[in-house]
Amino acid sequence: MILYTSMPHELVFPTEAAEFSKQKVVTYNGIPLLVEMDGGQDCTVVRVMSSDPTHFMDDKYTPGTKITLA
């Protein structure tokens, strides 16, 4: 089956609820981030939740970056 749509992939094929249980919002160096916990204190940045544009330009907080929570 071929599906032609302008809707994002995430809306057509939603992620399972178990995947969302790994995610949480944390404040890291004063910046609110949505992270996915990898185990222990290690996590991966999923989204920058800040409204400050300079936080989006900082390479330390781009999605996919691994960080360790203290």
Angle among Cα 42, 43, 46 to the nearest 5 degrees reads: 170
- DSSP annotation of 63 reads T
For the entire predicted model, the pTM comes to: 0.74
How many beta carbons lie within 10 A of that of residue 33, not counting itself? Answer: 23
Token code pair at residue 13: 């094929």
Which residue, among 44, 17, 15, 39, has the nearest Cα to 28 in the 3D structure?
44
Cβ atoms of 43 and 36 closer than 8 Å: yes
> How far, in Å, CA of 40 to CA of 56, rounded?
26
pLDDT in tens, the chain (70 residues): 888 999 988 888 877 888 788 899 999 999 999 999 998 899 999 999 999 999 999 999 999 999 999 7
